[in-house]
Structures are given as structure tokens and as C-alpha cells.
């Protein structure tokens, strides 16, 4: 079962000597990202909560992107997707991404419509 | 010409079987397929949460005001405890991947220790989640629900802090007691009765000029943008007439923190995730004992540890998303 691990992260920027070292390195990175998230969550800088991109607060975009970064390193290094064949990796990763993007798109669009009906339509719900 | 000429020998024959195009064993592939389907299930839940949230985008509870407790400490510490839980789960993910790594090198004792630490981490996480649930269900300030199912919370105008019902509600002697099976209709159980009646809260509100009502609506503009709407004293006295019942804590039907859907999704999503962690701990324990008994040593490889490892990392992966969408965004 001795198979080689790919020991570099950040596209080769950081190279580790052993798999164990890489694991600790990834842990440090994930912890840093979580700390940044929590710090943002507590401070909520006004400049980020009052600016919008595609209808969502910039701060929320930052949270979602950092989450995806964390998910990437958990899947790639802890779940060893980095060492799997690319066919397996693509089957596992792109199938959910495609389906989830589709689902999120239709559900959030529909929810926004319902919100507008509640807001501007003749529906009394907030009483 | 090349495309029609068969050059393959028996070993290279694509259709002859024996190929491993994905380079992974059957068990590992099936674990991955299960995880993909499970990921879709969780995505469905989170997308439904997003639907409800976008639907009530201007009245949704603010997570920082809901999850503010840390065990053994009093005071207002938003996010801290969840961040700790997140770290515990990532840490147990690390010990799990170290166990897998030790398994590849056939180091039995190292696998045992790392599995043990993983199980401890999982147990701490499940325990923390139970505590979080208990705190959420118990509630701390109490609120009044209106006829339309909206929540009215109370604020002390002098301090600007939230006011709990016990701080201002008047005690009016009454005969109303909780309906129990043993002394009422035998098949009917009231189950839950708030500590104060609506009348007591209303009278207390009228008697305390510094208490104001805070509605669910989030201000969309102005200096206080992003905060909940605070009514004036006159509006407060008028609004309390819409009250129907007193709510303390949260359950599947009522929620003192705001929209009922928030509590429903909280119980459903973190509950489903907690169930995954719990079953993950159980599976880890089974594998842990198998490692101790030397099952995988005899088998010649520790792939089973790798497979439960995949499940365990997946639980961590899901939590990363739940953490973001429930507590941060």
C-alpha cells in the first residue's frame, strides 16, 4: 500500500518533506483561515457589510470563498484527492458542484421572488 | 488506419476486465459514491435554508445575537464557542489523517493512538453540540409572539441591552397551572407552559417606562443599518396588543430568537450533522478495536482505516459549510 503522496501545496509554492509534515502544514493553514473568518464575524467591518457584489454583502462573499478554500484543502489533502487519478477526482468534485450550483440558483431566485411578493404584493404576513 | 487496427494484447484489452481505470479499490469507490450522495443531501438542506432565509431576508435572526454563550462563562461571547467546536473537529480530522498515514506505514501502535485521539475529538464535538442545543432550547431572554407568528423582543432603553422577561414582568396571582395527564384529561399533555403569562408581561411592560419592544425587522438604511428595529415607547405600548403568547427558548413550533424556520433548520441541519458525527464516532470505535485486535495487521493493509477516514473528513467538510451558513453569513 505504499504509494507516493504529492507533497506540495499552493501550486508548488510550499513543499513538505513528508506526508506527516504536510498534514500539520495544512492544519496550520486551515486554522489561520478559520481565525480570519471568526475575526471578520466578530468585527464585521463596516466597509465590508455595506458594500454589495451581485446583490450580496462583500463580507458574505469573503466567508463563502474562504469556506470553499477550506473545503478544497480538506478534500485534497485530508481525503487524499490530490493523490487520486484525475478521472476519479473530477467525477467526485464536479458532479456535486454542478448540481448544487443549479439547485442554489433556482431556489434563491425563487426565494427572492417570494420575498418581493411578500413585500410589494397584497399579502399581510408581518402582523 | 491506426484507428481500426487492433494492437492490444490480452493484458491491454479494454473490455477484457481486470482494468482499474480509477485506480481505487471497490470499497473506497463505494465510500466516495456514498459521500457524494450524502453531500447532495446536505446541499439540499442548506439550499432549503437559503431559500427560507432569502424569503425572509429582512427579518431573519442575526446569528451573533443567538449563539452568544460559552460553557462556564457568563457574558456575551458571540462565535467563540462555535469556533472552538470547528477547531476541535478540524483537529480530529488531522489525527484521523495521521492514523491513515501511520496505517500506510504499517505502524499499528501509532494507528491505535491516533484513532483514540480522533474518537475523543469526535466525542467532545458531539458533547459541545448537545450543550449548544440545550442552551438554544432553554433560551435566555424570552419574547412575545404576535398573532401573525412574529416575535417581539424587549430592550432596556437605559442600557441598550436586551431585557429578559424576568426583569420586568409583573407577578399576578392566578390559578392557571400546567395541564398534566395525571390531573386532567388523561390523553392530553400541555408539555410546556411559559413562566409568565401574556398578561403579566403586558402589565410589567406598562409599569416599566424604560422597556421598549424590538421587532424582527432589520433596518435597511440609516446609521443603524443591519440592526433590528427598535420601537418608541408609544409604538411599544401599541404593539404589545398584537401579542398572543409568551415564548421562552426554542422548539420546532416556537422560537424566541425570531423566525420559527430558523429554529427548525437549526435543529434539522445541525441535528443531521450531529447524527453523522455520532455514527462516525461509533464506526471509528469499531475500527479502533479492530486495529487493536490486529485484524488489519493480518490483512496486510489498513485500507479500512482510510475508508472510515474518508467518512470522518467528510463530516468535517460538511461542518465547514454549516459553520459558514449558520453562524457567519
| Domain definitions of chain A by residue range | 7-83, 85-127
- Residue contact B320–A24, C-beta within 8 A: no
Distance from CA of B200 to the nearest CA of A (A): 22
Is residue B93 located within the same domain as residue B124?
yes
Digit-by-digit pLDDT tens for chain B (329 residues) are 345 555 555 555 677 777 788 888 899 999 999 999 999 999 999 999 999 999 998 899 988 888 888 888 887 888 889 999 999 999 999 999 999 999 999 999 999 999 999 999 999 999 999 999 999 999 889 999 999 889 999 999 888 888 999 888 888 887 777 777 777 778 877 767 788 889 899 999 999 999 999 999 888 877 777 888 889 999 999 999 999 999 999 988 889 999 999 999 999 999 999 999 999 999 999 999 999 999 999 999 999 999 999 999 999 999 999 999 988 88
Structural domain ending residue among the three candidates B195, B222, B248: B248
- Structurally, chain B folds into a number of domains equal to 2
Verify that B205 and B292 share a domain, yes or no: no
Q: Is residue B63 part of a domain?
A: yes
Same domain, yes or no, for B158 and B66?
Answer: no
Residue B287 lies in a domain: yes
Query: Distance between CA B140 and CA B73 in Å, rounded?
Result: 14
Domain end point (choices B248, B279, B304):
B248
Residues B101 and B203 in one domain: no
B129 and B151 together in one domain: no
Q: Which of B224, B248, B272 delimits the end of a domain?
A: B248
A52-53/A56-57 β-pairing: antiparallel
Q: How far is A60 from chain B (nearest CA, A)?
A: 5
Decide if B16 is inside a domain.
no
Is there a contact between A40 and A62 (Cβ–Cβ < 8 Å)?
Answer: yes
B151 and B242 belong to one structural domain: yes
Residue-range definition of the domain harbouring residue B320: 26-139+262-328
Rounded to two decimals, the ipTM of the complex is 0.90
Q: Is B22's CB within 8 Å of A95's CB? A: no
pTM of the model: 0.88
Residues B30 and B128 in one domain: yes
A49/B50 Cβ within 8 A: no
Contacts of residues A39-48 at CB distance under 8 Å and 24 or more positions apart, as own/partner, are A40/B328, A41/B64, A41/B78, A41/B79, A41/B327, A41/B328, A42/B64, A42/B78, A42/B79
Amino acid at each position: 500500500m505504499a504509494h507516493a503522496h504529492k507533497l506540495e501545496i499552493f501550486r508548488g509554492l510550499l513543499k513538505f518533506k513528508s506526508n506527516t509534515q504536510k498534514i500539520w502544514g495544512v492544519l496550520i493553514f486551515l486554522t489561520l483561515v478559520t481565525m480570519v473568518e471568526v475575526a471578520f464575524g466578530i468585527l464585521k467591518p463596516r466597509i465590508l457589510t455595506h458594500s454589495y457584489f451581485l446583490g450580496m454583502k462583500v463580507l458574505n462573499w469573503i466567508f463563502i470563498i474562504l469556506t470553499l478554500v477550506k473545503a478544497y484543502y480538506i478534500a485534497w489533502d485530508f481525503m487524499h484527492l490530490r493523490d487520486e487519478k484525475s478521472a476519479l477526482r473530477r467525477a467526485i468534485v464536479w458532479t456535486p458542484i454542478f448540481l448544487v450550483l443549479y439547485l442554489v440558483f433556482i431556489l434563491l431566485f425563487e426565494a427572492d421572488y417570494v420575498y418581493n411578493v411578500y413585500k410589494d404584493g397584497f399579502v399581510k404576513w408581518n402582523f | 488506419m491506426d484507428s481500426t487496427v487492433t494492437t492490444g494484447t490480452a493484458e491491454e484489452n479494454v473490455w477484457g476486465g481486470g482494468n482499474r481505470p480509477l485506480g481505487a479499490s471497490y470499497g473506497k469507490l463505494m465510500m466516495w459514491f456514498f459521500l457524494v450522495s450524502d453531500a447532495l443531501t446536505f446541499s439540499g438542506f442548506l439550499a432549503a435554508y437559503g431559500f427560507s432565509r432569502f424569503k425572509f431576508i429582512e427579518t431573519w435572526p442575526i446569528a451573533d445575537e443567538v449563539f452568544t454563550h460559552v460553557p462556564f462563562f457568563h457574558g456575551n461571547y458571540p462565535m467563540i464557542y462555535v469556533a472552538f467546536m470547528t477547531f476541535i473537529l478540524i483537529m480530529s480530522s488531522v489525527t484521523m489523517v495521521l492514523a491513515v498515514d501511520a496505517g500506510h506505514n504499517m505502524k499499528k501502535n501509532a494507528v491505535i493512538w491516533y484513532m483514540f485521539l480522533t474518537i475523543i475529538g469526535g466525542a467532545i464535538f458531539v458533547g459541545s453540540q448537545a450543550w449548544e442545543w440545550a442552551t438554544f432550547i432553554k433560551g435566555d431572554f424570552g419574547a412575545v409572539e404576535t398573532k401573525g407568528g412574529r416575535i417581539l423582543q424587549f430592550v432596556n432603553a437605559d442600557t441598550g441591552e436586551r431585557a429578559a422577561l424576568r426583569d420586568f414582568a409583573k407577578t399576578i396571582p392566578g390559578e392557571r397551572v400546567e395541564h398534566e395527564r395525571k390531573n386532567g384529561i388523561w390523553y392530553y399533555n400541555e408539555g410546556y407552559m411559559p413562566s409568565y403569562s401574556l398578561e403579566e408581561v403586558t402589565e410589567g411592560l406598562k409599569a416599566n417606562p424604560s422597556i421598549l419592544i424590538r421587532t424582527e425587522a432589520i433596518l435597511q438604511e440609516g446609521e443603524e443599518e443591519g440592526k433590528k428595529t427598535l420601537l418608541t415607547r408609544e409604538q411599544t405600548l401599541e404593539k404589545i396588543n398584537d401579542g398572543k403568547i409568551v415564548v421562552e427558548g426554542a422548539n420546532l413550533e416556537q422560537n424566541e430568537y425570531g423566525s420559527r424556520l430558523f429554529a427548525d433548520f437549526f435543529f434539522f441541519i445541525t441535528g443531521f450533522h450531529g447524527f453523522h458525527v455520532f455514527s462516525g464516532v461509533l464506526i471509528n470505535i469499531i475500527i479502533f478495536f479492530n486495529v487493536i485486535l490486529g485484524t488489519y495487521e493480518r490483512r496486510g493493509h489498513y485500507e479500512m482505516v482510510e475508508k472510515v477516514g474518508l467518512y470522518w473528513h467528510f463530516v468535517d467538510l460538511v461542518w465547514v459549510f454549516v459553520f459558514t451558513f449558520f453562524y457567519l453569513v
